Amino acid sequence: MAIIKQAARQTLGQLIGANNPVVTVPDDSQRQYSWTKKEVDVYWADIEKFKDGRESGRESSSEYFIGPVVTITAETASGRALLDGQQRLTTSTILLAVIRDILWQTNAPEAKLSANNIQRDYIARKSGRKDPMEYFLVLSLFDRDFFRDYIQTWSEISGECARTEAATRPSHHLIKDAYNNLYAKVRSRLQSMADDEDRLDYLDLLRECLIYGLV
């Protein structure tokens, strides 16, 4: 028997991540990733506006409500089935992966450590060398393998995902497009900054907005 939990305020970091039950899109829902450039652009504009307001110190900008997320937890299960909120959580995970990848590419030891922490804390990790990878957001069977290959299964040695899976569905192409779109937007913002310290500060503040500010 499933239990529908009461409504509760949670940040993105409290919903997905290493210290939380895994969030899974049920296979029988037949839902796939569907956000186009239009939705991703609106999402990014909202994140940027929220980030700017949060940095200004305005109390009204301390949190950004991204909408309701509905999960069901079975009495005997350690994970949660995601009924509503797939597009927002998937796109937020993609943006975290973008921050991770750009941090790694700066080649600064501090940045590489931050990239590893984002991966382990909010995307996927292995408890031990021979243990299977634990993914904190599990998409339905339509997108699961591609999303893992393109976004989640990341090497702390090379700083890259394998990306060997062919994009065989429209949703796979949308996942790639969302990553490339967000990557280009973050890179564009970084190009206007004078030095590496400013760039690292920007990436760290963007990470904080996602993890602690999105509610």
pLDDT of residue 150: 97
Q: To which residue do tokens 């305005």 refer?
A: 58
Q: Residue 76's pLDDT band (boundaries 50, 70, 90)?
A: low
Average pLDDT over residues 146-175: 95
Tokens of 53: 């307001």
Q: To which residue do tokens 């509905």 refer?
A: 70
pLDDT tens sequence across 81-91 = 888 889 999 99
The alpha-carbon radius of gyration of the chain (Å, integer) is: 17
- Name the pTM for this structure: 0.92
Instruction: Yes or no: say if 11 and 211 are a contact pair by the CB < 8 Å rule.
Output: yes
pLDDT tens sequence across 4-48 = 556 777 888 888 888 888 888 888 766 899 999 999 999 999 999
pLDDT of residue 5: 55
Q: To which residue do tokens 């996942």 refer?
A: 175
Higher pLDDT, 2 or 197: 197
- Give the separation between CA 120 and CA 111, rounded to whole angstroms: 14
Q: To which residue do tokens 């450590």 refer?
A: 113
Question: Could you tell me which of 165, 213, 202, 190 has the C-alpha nearest to residue 66?
Answer: 213
* 153: CB partners within 8 A, 6+ apart: 124, 133, 161, 162
Question: Could you tell me which of 39, 16, 8, 7 has the C-alpha nearest to residue 210?
Answer: 16
Tokens of 170: 């429209």
